[in-house]
Amino acid sequence: MYFVLVLGLFAYVGTRLVWQKLISGLAGLKVPLPSEKALRDLRRRIVTAPLKALFETLAVPLAQRRSRPAPGTADGGPSPSTGAAR
């Protein structure tokens, strides 16, 4: 999953370089080194679905609805900075 996320973040970088950067901290462990074609095919096959699922899971609205308009906005009364109606 990390590989897929990193591919999405660094789409302009070659898949081999992304893989090497991702495994660089695993020195001493036997980590497979897939071919460039295998990594490229993996990117084409699965990169959009996991990122879309992650976005849909984590994305939430940042703004909250107000029960009444804020001052200084349309139909919200006078502007707090000038006191004049808009």
Residue at 4 is within a domain: yes
The yes-or-no verdict on residue 1 having pLDDT over 70 is: no
pLDDT at 73: 67
Please check whether residue 58 lies inside any domain of the structure.
Answer: no
Number of domains in the chain: 1
* pLDDT, the chain, mean: 76
Domain region containing 6: 1-23+33-50
Question: What pLDDT score was predicted for residue 51?
Answer: 73
Within-domain flag for 28: no
pTM reported for the whole predicted model? 0.48
- b/e for 8-38, b at 16 or more Cβ within 10 A? eeeeeeebeebbeeeeeeeeeeeeeeeeeee
Residue 78 domain-assigned? no
Residues 31-60: tens digit of each pLDDT? 888 888 888 887 777 767 777 787 788 887
Q: Which residue reads 């900075």 in tokens?
A: 81
Q: What is the average pLDDT across 61-81?
A: 65
